[in-house]
């Protein structure tokens, strides 16, 4: 079983009710699991968000406004902010 938080609670219930062995694999794109260098899905999520930000910036340059353009983008992340940080570092 792969996932985080709630999925593992379900896994614990399955373990209590059956003799089948299960394996839990942590999965989160937030890259906020302790004792790991990176988590599955983080690299592709960071690349996708970085590319999306570049497209937003290019679109704002193409729009002809007399005053500056403000774009507000919300990027998910629980506690660490690794996705936001990787987006800020993308070139």
Active site residues per annotation: 30
Distance CA(41)–CA(33), nearest Å, equals 13
Residue 60's CB is within 10 A of a number of other CB atoms, namely 13
Sign, CA torsion 74/75/79/85: negative
């Amino acid at each position: 079983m792969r996932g985080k938080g709630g999925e593992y609670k379900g896994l614990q219930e399955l373990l209590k009710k059956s003799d089948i062995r299960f394996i839990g694999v942590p999965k989160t794109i937030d890259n906020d699991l302790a004792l790991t260098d990176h988590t599955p899905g983080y690299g592709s999520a960071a690349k996708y968000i970085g590319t999306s930000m570049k497209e937003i910036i290019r679109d704002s340059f193409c729009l002809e406004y007399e005053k500056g353009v403000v774009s507000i983008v919300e990027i998910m992340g629980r506690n660490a902010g690794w996705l936001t940080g990787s987006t800020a570092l993308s070139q």
